Chains A and B, each alone.
Chain A
């Protein structure tokens, strides 16, 4: 009898434990407190605190940052990630690569998101330069720096030495030489960018990341078609088309290409084709729209 009573007591306590834990942690979320993502310890302190487990600490920081990216994918608000969150994210990856500067993944993911979504190409290149210095066998990191210099920062001259460096490293010789050569021609910017990105996709295994890159390529392809159309329109009529629809009317292109980001294209005064949204492709956003980002 007493034993039965004790067993029932244990069962009830076990159940209540689960209930109370749930209630208490729900309440805890409402407590006024700092954000989990608000700070990161400076790397020299992290290094000392990690004792002999620096590699492991670096892995943990990186997994943390990946969990953050995963969490933001479910957010409804726009922009999904706030600017200070991107800054924290960069700092985390910077710390992870201070603990283990040879760790490739933090560089790779920083490059996949920061220049595009956070418009932080300059900062990304800073991080990538650290990686390129340590991983001196890896052609991808100088390749990314070169791309960011060319595409986001419009520094073609600065991009060339990084691409040449990448071509000297084992893995990516033939196409890198041709990209470096293409950079000389300002007018083929969009096609050069597509070429760059196709190479990146070819070396990317993760499906979700591949999809993000493919959308970027698709947007650039649409712009490339329109740019070609605008050029031949100008040749034919001696002036810029007032709208992109004009290109279809005059049978220069068959139909308007879609903007995968859901925006519409228009022709700027300088003859460049830009989109109202293309949020990922900063150089192709109209200056007027940039103020929104």
Chain B
């Protein structure tokens, strides 16, 4: 346990120093600036559009961090052979994986938190200037949405660790993680679509496709569960039980992915 924290902390520090972080932050800042521009182009629901923009920017920037900073952090140790010096000390391979992952969790949490502060500032300014269009608006719903987005990003990062444990290059990990993200976000929509009656669909779905989609539904993480941007934008009620089950699902999936990653990593042969 004691060896986990130094690895986590070093990983976090390495991530924060990564130049990509600056680029992503600059990009997010530009988008928050654009929020003011786009939201005021909408005649009435300025509040809704600004919340849409703010939350989408947070989750998209977070996604970029998971894809371009997170995956690199894992790969760098292998590429630069620094992993030998770490493992030469009394750190087991599973400990190394878990430590790295904890560092990544820390990095994701800190970056989404700081992005949220910027987003809240942009939204706050718009709320001051267009108070009459912020009738259905709630800070707590925005905070809840940011929390679930953070959990989604951590989950995706855990899956990328799983991929990194058995692929040979970080590029393959990146591609697999992007595919997982796309499938994860759309799988419940696709499942609902193909399970709807053929009359409504306009064509019949072959049983093979049906089985494939159903298999994918249980295999890939259902990332759309963590998406309550629409509810946050309109201050619609979200049941506590929904949040509880979703968080439990996320935590279990993360544990599963990291445990599997540790198991596979134990057997991995280094170059």
A interface vs B, CB < 8 Å?
44, 47-49, 51-56, 58-59, 62-63, 66, 100, 102-105, 108-109, 205-206, 209
Contacts and interface: CB of A to CB of B under 8 A. Distances in A.
Contacts of A63: 38, 41-42
Contacts of B122: none
Interface stretch (B43-51, B97-105, B249-257): B43-51
Contacts of A206: 43
A interface: dominant SS: helix
Nearest to B41: A63
B52 A51 contact: no
Contacts of A104: 44-45, 48
Given A59-B42, A62-B42, A63-B41, A102 B236 contact: yes
Interface in B226-254: 227, 229-230, 233-234, 236
Contact of A55 (B41, B52, B223): B52
A48 B189 contact: yes
B59 A52 contact: yes
7 closest pairs, A vs B, by CB? A55-B52, A51-B185, A102-B234, A52-B227, A48-B189, A48-B186, A56-B56
Contacts of A44: 189, 193
Chain B, interface SS category: helix
B20 interface: no
Contacts of B52: 55-56, 58-59
Contacts of B259: none
A108 B45 CA distance: 11
Contacts of B262: none
A205 B46 CA distance: 13
Contacts, number: 69
Given A52-B227, A54-B230, A59 B38 contact: yes
B53 interface: yes
Given A52-B224, A59-B53, 13 more contacts: A48-B190, A48-B193, A51-B182, A51-B186, A52-B223, A53-B229, A54-B230, A55-B56, A102-B48, A102-B233, A103-B48, A104-B45, A209-B43
29 contacts: A47-B189, A48-B186, A48-B189, A51-B182, A52-B59, A53-B60, A54-B230, A55-B48, A55-B52, A55-B55, A55-B56, A55-B229, A56-B53, A59-B42, A59-B52, A62-B42, A63-B41, A63-B42, A100-B233, A102-B48, A102-B230, A104-B44, A104-B45, A104-B48, A105-B42, A105-B44, A205-B43, A205-B132, A209-B43
* Residue with the highest number of chain B CB atoms closer than 10 Å, among A49, A54, A209: A54
Nearest to B201: A44
Interface in B22-45: 38, 41-45
A114 to B, nearest CB: 16
A103 B45 contact: yes
A139 B45 CA distance: 16
Interface string B43-74: 11100110011011001100000000000000
Contacts of A209: 43
A102 B52 CA distance: 13
B150 to A, nearest CB: 13
Contacts of B53: 56, 59
Interface string B198-221: 000000000000000000000000
B22 to A, nearest CB: 24
Nearest to B133: A205
Contacts of A54: 229-230
B199 to A, nearest CB: 14
A100 B230 contact: yes
A193 B16 CA distance: 63
